[in-house]
A and B are shown apart, each in its own frame.
Chain A
Amino acid sequence: RKEVEQDPGPFNVPEGATVAFNCTYSNSASQSFFWYRQDCRKEPKLLMSVYSSGNEDGRFTAQLNRASQYISLLIRDSKLSDSATYLCVSDAGNMLTFGGGTRLMVKP
């Protein structure tokens, strides 16, 4: 079993839709989490950090459920420019562990 698991997708959604991705992690020592966004043939860029139960930044909301060991990312009012791969990352204090990513495609 991978340490951080994500549904690879793709998630195909119309512009304006709300979409949510889940990510499960197996290392109970993980203290904090990150969501990165990676555009095609580009490097990952930090989207959001999650240090407690969740975080919200504009159209993006991340929620952490420690009991069930999953993190979610919710994108509201999706834009064409949100099309990318979203990487879930866990931090157990010594190393970041990256999930394989979920691909999102927002269509007009």
Chain B
Amino acid sequence: GAGVSQSPSNKVTEKGKDVELRCDPISGHTALYWYRQSLGQGLEFLIYFQGNSAPDKSGLPSDRFSAERTGGSVSTLTIQRTQQEDSAVYLCASSLGSGQGVPSSYNEQFFGPGTRLTVL
């Protein structure tokens, strides 16, 4: 079946502009995650959505970053007034479910191909 998709695959923007990155999770997956990965670095957790619960925004680096998930499916990550240090690959992942009590296999995350953001 279809995997996680993200768009655009590449985005070049000027410092100070706003950008929106989109993620389509695997159908039926209730959990959705956003990560950021700078060149040669590890994954940095940004935000996580689980069903209809309030999202865990603990990883967002500043109030310029926000994310929404509409209808429990598609998610949009918005970065306002982009800065050069925002340049990175933004990865989205989804899983069947998350939290205590679910089978461990439900937490296996499947990643999209990422959006490479370059802020000039």
Interface residues of A (CB under 8 A from B): 31-32, 34, 42-46, 49, 51, 87, 91, 93-96, 98-101
Q: Is B112 positioned at the interface, with any CB of A under 8 Å from its CB?
A: yes
Question: What size tier do the contact residues of chain B reach?
Answer: 20 to 34
Identity of the chain A residue whose Cβ is nearest the Cβ of B95 in the assembled complex? A96
- Residues from chain B with a CB closer than 8 A to the CB of A31 are 104
CB contact under 8 A between A46 and B43, given known A93-B99, A94-B98: no
Number of inter-chain CB pairs below 8 Å = 47
Mask: chain B, 97-115; 1 = CB below 8 Å from A; 0 = not: 0111100110111111110
Chain A's interface: helix, strand, loop or mixed, by majority?
Answer: loop
B109-A96 in contact (CB<8A): yes
Given A95-B48, A98-B43, A43:B104 Cβ within 8 A: no
- B75 → A minimal CB distance (Å): 16
B6 shortest CB reach to chain A, Å: 9
Residues A34 and B108 in contact, CB atoms below 8 Å apart: yes
Any chain A CB within 8 A of the CB of B20?
no
